[in-house]
Amino acid sequence: MDRRNVHFALVLAYHGPGFRGWQFQEGQPTVEGSLRKAAAPLFQGPFRCRAAGRTDAGVHARDQRVLLAGPCEHSADTLAKALNARLCEGIAVLQCREVGPDWDPKSGSFAKSYRYQVWRGPYLPPVLHDRVWWIQGRGALSQTAIEAAAAHLRGEQDYDSFRSAHCQARHARRCIWQLDFRPEETAAILAHPDERCALASFTVTGNAFCQHQVRIMVGTLVEVGLGKREAASIPGILEAKDRQAAGRTAPAQGLTLQRVYFPGEEALSGVPSDARWPGCPWD
Catalytic residues: 56
Interaction of residue 22 with a second copy, rule CB under 8 A: no
What residues contact residue 71 under an 8 Å CB cut-off, 6+ apart? Answer: 3, 4, 5, 6, 43, 44, 45, 47
Of 93 and 153, which CB lies nearer to a second copy in the complex structure? 93
Interaction of residue 123 with a second copy, rule CB under 8 A: yes
Q: Report 85-104 residues binding a second copy (CB under 8 A).
A: 89-95
Q: Taking contact as CB under 8 A, which single stretch among the options 59-67, 169-177, 227-235, 241-249 is the one that binds a second copy?
A: 59-67
Q: Taking contact as CB under 8 A, which single stretch among the options 83-91, 98-106, 148-156, 232-240 is the one that binds a second copy?
A: 83-91
Beta strands in the chain (DSSP E): 5-14, 48-51, 60-71, 91-99, 111-121, 133-136, 155-158, 173-184, 198-206, 255-261
With CB under 8 A as the rule, give the number of residues binding a second copy: 32
Q: How far is the CB of 133 from a second copy (least distance, A)?
A: 15
Give CA–CA dist 10/52, Å, rounded. 10
Q: Report 196-255 residues binding a second copy (CB under 8 A).
A: none
* Contact assessment for residue 117 and residue 201, using Cβ atoms and an 8 Å cutoff: yes
Q: How far is the CB of 121 from a second copy (least distance, A)?
A: 9
Q: Phi then psi for 190, rounded to 5 degrees?
A: -95, 135
The alpha carbons of the chain give a radius of gyration, in whole angstroms, of: 20
Q: How far is the CB of 93 from a second copy (least distance, A)?
A: 7
Interaction of residue 60 with a second copy, rule CB under 8 A: yes
The residue among 120, 147, 122, 149 whose CA lies nearest residue 134 is 120
Selected from 207, 220, 258, 269, the binder of a second copy by CB under 8 A is 258
* Contact assessment for residue 210 and residue 167, using Cβ atoms and an 8 Å cutoff: yes
Site string for a second copy, 150-189 (x = CB under 8 A): ---------------------------------------x
Selected from 40, 122, 235, 282, the binder of a second copy by CB under 8 A is 122
H helix intervals, the chain: 31-39, 76-86, 143-153, 213-225, 234-240, 266-269
Q: How far is the CB of 80 from a second copy (least distance, A)?
A: 8
Selected from 191, 273, 274, 283, the binder of a second copy by CB under 8 A is 191
Distances from the Cα of 215 to the Cαs of 36, 38, 109, 257, in angstroms?
A: 28, 30, 21, 12
Q: Taking contact as CB under 8 A, which single stretch among the options 41-49, 76-84, 97-105, 171-179 is the one that binds a second copy?
A: 76-84
Give CA–CA dist 221/232, Å, rounded. 11
Selected from 174, 215, 229, 259, the binder of a second copy by CB under 8 A is 259
The residue among 52, 53, 50, 56 whose CA lies nearest residue 20 is 56
User: Which residues make up the interface to a second copy (CB under 8 A)?
Assistant: 11, 13-15, 60, 62-63, 80-81, 84, 89-95, 122-127, 129, 131, 189-192, 194, 258-259
